């Protein structure tokens, strides 16, 4: 069951990363976003960080390990947004 926030994040990912042939249904909330699963790369991670900042006012710390956990999959990304959003 996809929550409204997860749906919103799926659309943000597709739009900000210009994923030509990906639909929201293709993104499994439990699957890895990076490398395996959706197959995003390090440039996408930077782009996603920028999108989170613009849309939700979230500034990620430069700690790579924490970011890795936040960006693990759509569920962890939604948890990050819920906990830290300021807009």
Partner 1 sequence: MTELFLHDWRAWTPRRQVPDETRLDSAAKPVGSSVPAMLRRRLNLVGRAVCDMLPALDPQANRVVLHASRHGDGDRTLELLYTLAEHDPISPARFGLSVHNAIVGVYSIASDSRRSQQAIAASGAEWAALTIEARGYLADGENEVLVVFADQPVPARFADYAPETESAAVALRLGSRPAPGARRLHVTADQTVTAVQPPQPLDVIDWLMSGHTALACPMTHRRWQLDAPV
- Residue numbers of the site for partner 1 (CB under 8 A)? 17-21, 39-41, 43-44, 46-47, 50, 53-54
Nearer to partner 1 (CB atom), residue 45 or residue 81:
45
Residue 71's Cβ-side half-sphere holds a number of Cα atoms within 13 Å equal to 26
Cβ atoms 56, 86 nearer than 8 A:
yes
To the nearest whole angstrom, how small is the minimum distance from the Cβ of residue 83 to partner 1? 22
CB of 51 to partner 1, least distance (A): 9
- Three-class secondary structure of residue 15 per DSSP: helix
Angle at 1 between CA 84 and CA 54, to 5 degrees: 30
Rounded least distance, CB 50 to partner 1, Å? 6
């Amino acid at each position: 069951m996809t929550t409204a926030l997860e749906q919103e994040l799926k659309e943000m990912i597709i739009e900000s990363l210009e994923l030509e042939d990906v639909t929201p249904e293709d993104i499994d909330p439990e699957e890895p976003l990076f490398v395996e699963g959706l197959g995003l790369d390090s440039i996408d991670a930077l782009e996603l960080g920028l999108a989170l900042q613009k849309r939700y006012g979230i500034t990620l710390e430069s700690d790579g390990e924490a970011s890795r956990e936040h960006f693990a999959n759509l569920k962890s990304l939604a948890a990050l947004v819920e906990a830290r959003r300021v807009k």
